[in-house]
Amino acid sequence: MNRSSQMEADTQTRTERRLGVIPGKMLAAVYHGQDDIRLETVPVPEIGQGEILVRVHTCGICGTDLKKIATGSHSAPRIFGHETAGMVVAVGEGVTKYSLGDRVMVFHHIPCGDCYYCQHKTFAQCPVYKQVGVTAGYEPSGGGFAEYVRVMDWIVERGVIRIPDGVSYEQASFIEPVNTCFKAIETLAPKPGETVLVIGQGPIGLILAFLAKRAGAEVITSDLFPQRLTISKRFGLNNTVDASAESTLNRVRAVTGNRGADAVILAVAGNALIRPAVDAARPGGRVMLFAQTVRSEVQIDPAAICVDEKTLLGSYSASVDLNEDVARFVLSREMDLEGLYSHRFPLEQAVEALKLAAHPQPDTMKIAIQPGSTWEGMTE
């Protein structure tokens, strides 16, 4: 077969393995540098062997996306967004696990499983894990702030989860962020009867608090916004501290015989609350830094670690070992995660969505960008 005939046959094969008509161009929110996001028309990414193309329905906005945009830390142009759920609309040669029309959630990181870090279960440090395996074009960056994403072969193999009937795309879009919370709770290892303080009740802080309570801990939550504490109470988190009106440290000590919490989770970005988090832990207690993803310097009391024997812990990103447990938790709707979405924006308003997420109001929780908000004939 000559080259022209081969190209024609390849085109026909690709066409036969597509769901409906896929346009050549699509809308996307494109990052061009620090605080510079533009709504643009870009090519729909082409898929190769072992890959799939997913039409994005819902993509949650993550704090790490916001930090990258605010700091201009990544090269441009690129398309962010990694909490992605949508429908398979094209499959590459050799793909057998997924079919056209499958509703799926897609991880953007999956480790190799063989390197030093994988052998030590430190998956986020794996060189392959650091290579994002989902893109809407340009650099692989997740790509969920676009109409379509290309999912690369190693992600297709181990990082795609089918969404069952009756579960919404919104609920399924939480699988990746909930995995990061599961990982942090596994590292912190709260025990039944322990007191756990969770500082910050944005959507991630609320999920962490829910999981700590699920593990049997007595959970205290604190936030500067009373509105968020009201939302927490909907999830059974009733021991709350309005940090705008009351000292969180005093409350924690009052309910623990002046010892402090057995464990503290800091679910607020920035460094200002690291010292208060350490102070709120009892001697011999644990402190989990969950949101400190920007490299910087901070002063701590070294004697709190040495003399008071407090343990400082960190947890970053997801664990492939937890995928199945997390999927069961999310897809069973044990927690009404889609209820954490306070704002939903069509892709055409992605710039406004990202601005609100970067400057949240007291009633702002999770924000979704939904390229699929205008789908016709494609049900939840």
Where exactly are the structural domains of the chain? 3-174+337-374, 179-314
Of 3.90.180.10, 1.20.1250.20, 3.40.720.10, 2.130.10.10, the CATH number of 3-174+337-374 is 3.90.180.10
The answer to whether 29 and 351 have CB atoms below 8 angstroms apart is yes
Specify the higher pLDDT residue, 7 or 334. Answer: 334
Residue 185 C-alpha from the chain's centroid: 15
Q: What is the pLDDT of residue 14?
A: 46
- CA geometry: angle at 279 spanning 183 and 192, to 5°? 45
Q: What is the dihedral of CA 155, 343, 273, 264, to 10 degrees?
A: -60
% of the chain exceeding 70 in pLDDT: 94
Span 179-314 CATH architecture: 3-Layer(aba) Sandwich (3.40)
Closest CA to 30 of 107, 109, 142, 129: 142
Compute the average pLDDT of residues 211-216: 98
Residue 377 pLDDT level (bands cut at 50, 70, 90): very low
Q: What is the pLDDT of residue 15?
A: 41
Q: How far apart are CA 60 and CA 66, in angstroms?
A: 12
The torsion angles phi and psi of 199, rounded to 5 degrees, stand at -95, 115
Q: How many alpha carbons fall within 13 Å on the CB side of residue 41?
A: 3
Q: How far apart are CA 40 and CA 53, in angstroms?
A: 20
List Cβ neighbours of 1 (8 Å cut-off, separation of 6 or more): 9
Residue 19 pLDDT level (bands cut at 50, 70, 90): confident
Query: Tens digit of pLDDT for each residue in 298-311?
Result: 989 999 999 999 99
Q: What is the pLDDT of residue 292?
A: 93
Q: How far apart are CA 375 and CA 366, in angstroms?
A: 22
Q: What is the pLDDT of residue 17?
A: 60
The answer to whether 231 and 365 have CB atoms below 8 angstroms apart is yes
Q: What is the pLDDT of residue 5?
A: 44
Q: What is the pLDDT of residue 208?
A: 98
pTM of the model: 0.93
Query: Tens digit of pLDDT for each residue in 100-132?
Result: 999 999 999 999 999 999 999 999 999 999 999
